[in-house]
Amino acid sequence: MKIVALAGSIVGSKTKTAMLKTVEMLKQKYPEHEVKLLDLAEYTVEFSDGRNYFEYEGDTKYVTETIMTADALIIGTPTFQASIPATLKNIFDLLPVNAFRDKVVSSVVTAGTAKHYLMVEQQLKPVLAYMKAHIVPTYVFIEEKDFLRKEIVNDDILFRLERLVEDTVLTVEAFESIRAKKDKEYDF
Amino acid sequence: MEQYRINPSKGMEFGLYSLGDHIPNPITGERISASQRINELIEASKLAEQAGIDVFGVGESHQTYFTTQAHTVVLGAIAQATSKIKITSSATVLSVSDPVRVYEDFATIDLISDGRAEIVAGRGSRVGAYHLLGINLQDYEEIFEEKLELLKKINEEDHVTWQGEFRAPLQNAHILPQPKKGSIPIWRAVGGPPASAIKAGHMGIPMMLTTLGGPAVNFKHSVDAYREAAEQSGFDSNSLPIATTSLFYVADTTKEALQGMYPHINGGFQAIRGDGYPKQQFAQAPDTRDALMVGSTQQIIEKILYQNELYDMQRFMAQIDFGGVPFEKIMKNIEIIGNDIIPAIKKYTAK
């Protein structure tokens, strides 16, 4: 199984801190799976201009192709103006309409205030659903006060991240078996 | 319909078209040479003619996995190799070419073929040509409308005086050579959604509509919107032909057809769009109501007749070579089309 963890912002440290922790948990719990972290701060990604994702060059091609080969994507996003950052939306815009078909997508969200706790429901999930993702229903919402100097200091968050990692992997397995069962019905 | 060289009393026309895609055969992983691919297309046009197929089309796409970028040259070769079949583009990406030059090319093909050439002009669903040929994608909508208007004007007028934004003006220009009968049929290529069908209707130009898959009834909106727009703009919609197109694979049994087509449609979409064709959706495709033309001979006949009732179109165009289909399978498809499918649909649609 290929799992890609995406830190969706090019500024700040909280989302990246959360994603580093997520990746650490994934690697520890599932050493048999291939895990890759894509931190958008480390790449220069072009704005979507209508090309197929594989027709870009450099970082844009690398980032989109890496996402497209994943079985599961864990998206880490901060909250900017009550929504996802433009850098993350640009990734979605670069990909085909049905990019997340047969992929499991789960989310980790950071925000400066608890007022944003429904941001994922209202802003991110509709996009993922449109792109045909199998969405892991629960997500981990992390506030400013849960971090201290680039560490997560709230045990509740750590437990929830562990459960998110588990749910992501189990959901991939569940959908794999559904697909295998469906495919067995077809003789083509 | 006569000016578009269509005679409805003879029944609906059946055509083949190719995008000239050059994709490895997903079953063997091997890709034939560009030379073999192009020569097999020319060979297929001869077989199509022998099988009684009415039209043969070749389109252009300027990027990886395609090989008929110079589609007019291939059409010229087909004009020479055949003697009865109509020759069309499928489509010409007019936005990246000069309408004068396009007209010169197709008028020449019309002369070589003794009056069998047509143009299907489109905007292109892939953007490769724009980048390669230096056309600003920003002008995507407007550049096409302007160029199509000019192309239509050249076709209708002996001496053309014209001025626009994207090309140098023409001052009483006589475009040569002239086609055999002074004009050739020009169609507008239209994708699924109604927006460009409506534009085609307002322009009073025949429409070639892609119906690549999903419920056939979904494309009915575009057909209705086209005819309504034509009427609004003062054209008689009964005098404007409609063609529909779909990916196509026929075999003796449904199972054989599904098995024969799936690796190609899935591999083809994977190569040119970056995502494959879902099996679950493909499994629904043999249903009469689904636009994707896959199934047994009888299923295909029923699908085409169902669509003919739904759209009342004058021509159906089948794409039988998408995704690295080997030539022997193409030959087999042409054989079934000629022996069984065309006689059945002509019988039901001839007036």
Over residues A138-153, the pLDDT tens digits come to: 999 999 999 999 999 9
Contact B245, B18 (CB under 8 A): no
φ, ψ at B120 (rounded to 5°): -115, 115
Q: What pLDDT was estimated at residue B140?
A: 87
CB B57 within 8 A of CB B26: no
Q: Which residues of A touch B273 (CB under 8 A)?
A: 52, 96
Give the Å distances, CA to CA, from B7 to B83, B105, B241, B317, B341. Answer: 19, 25, 10, 16, 19
* DSSP labels, B222-261: HHHHHHHHHHHTT--GGGS-EEEEEEEEEESSHHHHHHHH
pLDDT digits (tens, 9 = 90+) for B66-77: 999 999 999 999
Low-confidence ranges of chain A (pLDDT < 50): none
Q: How confident is the model at residue B125 (pLDDT cuts 50, 70, 90)?
A: confident
Q: What is the mean pLDDT of chain B?
A: 96
Task: Please state which of the ranges A88-92, B116-120, B135-139 shows the lowest mean pLDDT.
Answer: B135-139
- Cα–Cα distance for residue pair A134/B276, rounded to 1 Å: 17
Summarised one tens digit per residue, pLDDT across range B105-115 is 999 999 999 99
Beta bridge mates, A101: none
Q: Quick one: average pLDDT of B270-299?
A: 94
Q: Which residues of A touch B127 (CB under 8 A)?
A: 49-51
pLDDT at A51: 87
Give the integer Cα–Cα distance in Å for B71 and B19: 9
Range with the largest mean pLDDT of B8-17, B136-145, B192-201: B8-17
Both tokens of B36, joined, read 């073999």
B52 CB burial (10 A radius; 0-12, 13-18, 19+): middle
Residue A93 confidence (pLDDT): 98
- B262 Cα to chain A: minimum distance (Å): 7
pLDDT of residue B138: 87
Select the residue of A51, A52, A186 nearest B279 (Cβ to Cβ): A186
pLDDT at position B213, please?
81
A69 close to B (CB below 8 A): no
Instruction: Using an 8 Å CB-CB cutoff, list chain B residues near A52.
Output: 126, 272-274
Q: Quick check: B138 contacting A, CB < 8 Å?
A: no
What per-residue confidence (pLDDT) applies to B312? Answer: 97
Enter the DSSP assignment of B96.
G
For residues A18 and A74, give the distance between their C-alpha atoms in angstroms, rounded to a whole number: 11
The CA distance from B146 to B347, in Å, is 41
Provide the sign of the torsion angle of the four alpha carbons B277, B281, B286, B287, taken in this order: negative
C-alpha closest to that of A1 among A71, A94, A98: A71
Q: What is the mean pLDDT of residues B172-179?
A: 97
Residue B274 — very low, low, confident or very high, per pLDDT cuts 50/70/90?
A: confident
Chain B, 274 to 293: residues with Cβ < 8 Å from chain A are: 274-275, 278-280, 282-283
Confidence at residue B128, expressed as pLDDT on a 0 to 100 scale: 78
pLDDT band at B126; cut points 50, 70, 90: confident
Residue B66 to residues A81, B128, B148, B172: CA-CA distances in angstroms?
44, 11, 24, 38
What pLDDT is recorded for position B63?
86
Instruction: Inspect the interface and report whether the beta carbons of A188 and B126 lie closer than 8 Å.
Output: no
Say which of B137, B274, B283 has its CB closest to residue A186: B283
Length of chain A: 188
| Band of pLDDT at residue B217, cut at 50, 70 and 90 | very high
Taking an 8 Å cut-off on Cβ atoms, the answer to whether A51 and B127 are in contact is yes
- The residue extents of the domains of chain A are 2-185
Min Cα distance B258 → chain A (Å) is 6
pLDDT digits (tens, 9 = 90+) for B244-260: 999 999 999 999 999 99
Domains, chain B, in order of start with CATH, read 2-349 (3.20.20.30)
Q: Does B192 have pLDDT greater than 80?
A: no
* CA–CA dist B86, B4 (Å, integer): 11
Helix axes A14-29, A155-185, angle to 10 degrees: 60
pLDDT at position A91, please?
A: 98
Closest to B320 in 3D by CA, of B94, B90, B81 = B90
Query: Under CATH, which number does the domain A2-185 receive?
Result: 3.40.50.360
Task: Please state the rounded mean pLDDT for residues B219-232.
Answer: 97
